[in-house]
Amino acid sequence: MNKEEAWIHSYRAFFIFAITLLFPMVVIAQQNPSISFISKEQVVEIGDRVEVKCTTQYANDYPVVWIKVNPDNSNNNLFISRGSTINIPHSRYSVRIEMPSNSHYPSSTNILTIDRIQEVDTGRYLCEVITGAGSFIKAETDVFVRIPPIISDNSTRSVITTVGADVDLYCYASGFPPPSVSWRREKQRLIPAIGALYRGNHLVLRNVTKDDRGTYYCVADNGVSSGARRSVGVEIEFVPYVTAERSRYGQALQYTAILQCHVESFPSPSIEWYKDGIPLTDNQHYEISIFATSEEFSDTSLKVNRIEKKQYGNYTRKATNKLGSDYKMIELFETVNVVCPPACDPFLNFANAGHGLFPSASVIFTFLVIFLTIFR
């Protein structure tokens, strides 16, 4: 090989070496930026720390931004960072950039870190590479925060209806995972025509009766915390229903008798007592008492003092509300012997049996027996 051929051979070797060295740089200069990886969706607990990663290729000269999407208004998205610079005054966010050691194929990983996760951090996050004015490439991922159920305000709170109507109860709940909704009744009572439990947002009670009234519970559960519960009051208006402890009461002349009845009604009724069709009022012969034991139950009694012959007969107890009325008839009849109670109450009979300011002989005898029994 002469001197000229040796020079040509050396030149070719140098050219090949230079091409081999420079070719990756030429290829790199001709590559467009791209996003090769973004983290998969994550489900986290409140208070956790989350890292979302976005790996780009050939994008070292382009700005990379993190954005939290506003699902209701895309023009109001939250721009979290540009490069490693945080754009919002929030100490829970930080961004770091990791660069690989291989410089022939430049790539970088932008890592968004969110500390002390809160409910507001749930949403979609975008990694965007800005390639020019109005042009960009992007990748997205979701972060889901496990949120306890919350029963919505548009759920039913209470219902007032009448016997025979259909009742619709609605219950809606939010949270993550999406909660399931079920219905129960207070005191483990059965839901009419359904049973102990109904699953679903919409509970329908058909052709309701007064026995269907009460409290129904909407329960929302998604496995986060203890769930949520709302009580729904169902009030059913119905005609008064009157019951009597006894249909006949007996008592001796000049002694006291107490006639008693119970009333079930909604709305609350007006209550009246009658003797032979004539309405009674409080006076020296009669005392009327009414006790509301709950919003729908009342007890009433008619006390007949120092019974005279004319006071024996039929008494009627009547209850009325806007839907109608009901009544029960009670007979007061004469007995030879004194009926106790209430006639044996010496304090009651002090005035009743004595016919005046002084007690009768029978009352004095009763006091004497009690005294000797106690102090013997």
Q: How far apart are CA 12 and CA 10, in angstroms?
A: 5
| Interatomic CA distance for residues 285 and 90, integer angstroms | 82
Q: What are the distances in angstroms from CA 210 to CA 206, 214, 261? A: 12, 9, 19
| In contact, 187 and 225? CB cutoff 8 Å | no
Q: Give the whole-angstrom CA distance, residue 151 versus residue 153.
A: 7
Helix (H) or strand (E) run with residue 129 in it:
strand 123-132
The pLDDT of residue 342 is 76
Predicted pLDDT at 2? 59
Percentage of the chain beyond pLDDT 70 is 82
Confidence of residue 15 (pLDDT cuts 50, 70, 90): very low
* pLDDT value, residue 133: 85
Confidence of residue 371 (pLDDT cuts 50, 70, 90): low
pLDDT at 198: 97
Confidence of residue 25 (pLDDT cuts 50, 70, 90): very low
pLDDT digits (tens, 9 = 90+) for 123-178: 999 999 999 888 899 999 999 999 999 999 999 999 999 999 999 999 999 999 99
Domains of the chain are 34-145 (2.60.40.10), 148-237 (2.60.40.10), 245-344 (2.60.40.10)
Say whether 145 sits in a helix, a strand or coil: strand
pLDDT for 132 equals: 87
Which residue's structure tokens are 């993190």? 66
Q: Give the model confidence (pLDDT) of 43-96 as tens digits.
A: 999 999 999 999 999 988 899 999 999 988 888 999 999 999 999 887 899 999
CA within 13 Å, CB half, 280: 24
Using 50, 70 and 90 to split pLDDT, how confident is the model at 6? low
Average pLDDT over residues 227-254: 95
What is the reported pLDDT for 283?
95
State mean pLDDT over 21-32.
52
* DSSP 8-state class, residue 339: P
- What residues pair up with 216 in beta bridges, in sequence order? 185, 232
List Cα–Cα distances, 310 to 37, 273, 305, in angstroms: 102, 16, 12
**pLDDT for 366:** 53
What 3-state DSSP class applies to 307?
coil
| Confidence band for 347, pLDDT divided at 50, 70 and 90 | low
Per-position DSSP letters for 55-93, written without gaps between them: EEES-TTS-EEEEE--SS-GGG-EEEEETTEE-SS-TTE
Q: Compute the mean pLDDT over every residue in the chain, rounded to the nearest whole number.
A: 86
Confidence (pLDDT) at 31 = 81
pLDDT, mean of residues 265-271: 94
What mean pLDDT comes out for the span 335-348? 77
pLDDT confidence of residue 26: 43
Quick: pLDDT tens for 280-320.
999 999 999 999 988 889 999 999 999 999 999 999 999 99
Contact 136, 128 (CB under 8 A): yes
Distance (Å) of CA 327 to CA 226, 286, 288, 374: 49, 19, 16, 45
pLDDT in tens, 174-196: 999 999 999 999 999 999 999 99
